[in-house]
């Protein structure tokens, strides 16, 4: 017999506070729901503050404290305001899930600089800015913390244009992977772990049209033969946000039905 806590206790997030960017819909809401089901209080933030407030109210039905706030991850002032509000209302920040993202499609030789910059500003610079703000708060508090950046299997390798033609998205998500690794090295001394989840194909507002057009071709590349579902990311995020992953940092966990195993 082991001593308390048993293994289930390692996944318990009771008393913890988690910020989830882009958390009102899609994958962000799935991450937030999983964390709330494990006991964490949740701060949802995205550009649509009203949508976040509605989602936060629904999550409060799980018996946890919640906040729904407006935030553009390209804005240092917005990010600082979310961090300050979380600390003022909930008293601490233990977990950050950097999920907010965007994409633009088109052949690399035709992609406008403005489109490239729009994607990089959200997907990479925004991740860094939120990591920096929350990292500062975690270091000052002295309790350590868990940062989980959301990349994509698209950031792990190239893709034929017939399946995906979004070079800025893929480059920015690849940048998230190496940003994660370097922050893991820099902040380990402070007890902060930094890891990445790389989802495969999940039906969301951002992917639904692409899946509708190319779904059969995409499924041919997924050994499990299906797209991700509404619970498939919960276990991964709770693992990386909890004590169960205390000896895991700088890693990328692909949740992709085996797509990257081909």
Q: Give the separation between CA 75 and CA 193, rounded to whole angstroms.
A: 24
Q: Are residues 23 and 40 in contact, defined by beta-carbon separation less than 8 angstroms?
A: no
- How far, in Å, are 29, 162, 177, 233, 239 from residue 170 at the CA level? 22, 15, 11, 20, 25
Alpha carbon 234 to chain centroid, angstroms: 11
Q: Is 255 helix (H, G, I), strand (E, B) or coil?
A: strand
- Domain boundaries along the sequence of the chain: 13-256
Question: String of b and e for 123-148 (b: at least 16 CB within 10 Å)?
Answer: bbebbbbbbebbbebbbeeeeebbbb
Q: What mean pLDDT, rounded, does the chain reach?
A: 96
Contact 170, 111 (CB under 8 A): no
pLDDT of residue 2: 52
Fold for the domain defined by 13-256:
Rossmann fold (3.40.50)
Place of tokens 């004590």: 243
> Which of 217, 235, 237, 240 lies closest to 227, judged by CA?
217
Beta-bridge partners for 150? 197
Per-residue pLDDT of 151-208, as tens digits, reads: 999 999 999 998 899 999 999 999 999 999 999 999 999 999 999 999 999 999 889 8
Token look-up 């946890």 returns 64
Contact of 39 with 33, CB cutoff 8 Å:
no
Residues 6+ apart with CB under 8 A from 117: none
The set of residues, in sequence order, having a beta carbon less than 8 Å from that of 5 and lying 6+ positions away, is 12
Kindly state the tokens that stand for 258.
Answer: 């085996």
Q: How confident is the model at residue 143 (pLDDT cuts 50, 70, 90)?
A: very high
Q: What is the pLDDT of residue 6?
A: 85
**Tokens in use for 237?**
């995020």
Task: Kindly report, residue by residue over 97-118, the tens digit of the pLDDT.
Answer: 999 999 999 999 999 999 999 9
Strand locations in the chain, DSSP E?
A: 17-21, 41-46, 66-70, 95-98, 145-150, 192-199, 252-255
Catalytic residues: 169
Mean pLDDT of 27-50: 98
pTM: 0.96
| Structure tokens, 252 | 């990328």
Using CA atoms, how far apart are residues 121 and 172, in angstroms rounded to an integer?
A: 9
> Looking at the predicted structure, is the pLDDT value of residue 1 above 70?
no
The pLDDT, as a whole number, for residue 5 is 61
| Contact (Cβ atoms closer than 8 angstroms) between residue 31 and residue 55 | no
């Amino acid at each position: 017999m082991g001593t308390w806590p048993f293994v289930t206790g390692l996944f318990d997030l009771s008393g913890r506070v988690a910020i989830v960017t882009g958390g009102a819909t899609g994958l962000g809401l799935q991450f937030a729901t999983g964390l709330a089901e494990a006991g964490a209080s949740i701060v949802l933030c995205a550009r649509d503050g009203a949508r976040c407030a509605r989602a936060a109210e629904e999550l409060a039905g799980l018996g946890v404290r919640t906040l729904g706030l407006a935030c553009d991850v390209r804005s240092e002032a917005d990010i600082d305001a979310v961090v300050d509000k979380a600390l003022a209302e909930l008293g601490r920040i233990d977990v950050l899930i950097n999920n907010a993202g965007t994409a633009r499609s088109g052949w690399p030789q035709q992609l406008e600089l403005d489109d490239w910059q729009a994607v990089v500003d959200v997907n990479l610079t925004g991740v860094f800015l939120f990591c920096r703000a929350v990292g500062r708060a975690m270091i000052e508090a002295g309790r350590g913390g868990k940062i989980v950046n959301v990349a994509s299997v698209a950031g792990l390798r190239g893709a034929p244009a017939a399946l995906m033609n979004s070079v800025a998205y893929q480059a920015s998500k690849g940048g998230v992977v190496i940003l994660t690794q370097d922050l893991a090295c820099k902040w380990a001394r402070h007890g902060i772990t930094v890891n990445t989840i790389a989802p495969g194909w999940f039906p969301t507002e951002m992917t639904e049209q692409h899946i509708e057009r190319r779904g059969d071709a995409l499924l041919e590349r997924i050994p499990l033969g299906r797209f991700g579902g509404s619970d498939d990311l919960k276990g991964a995020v709770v693992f990386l946000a909890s004590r169960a992953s205390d000896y895991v940092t700088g890693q990328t966990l692909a949740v992709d039905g085996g797509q990257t195993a081909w």
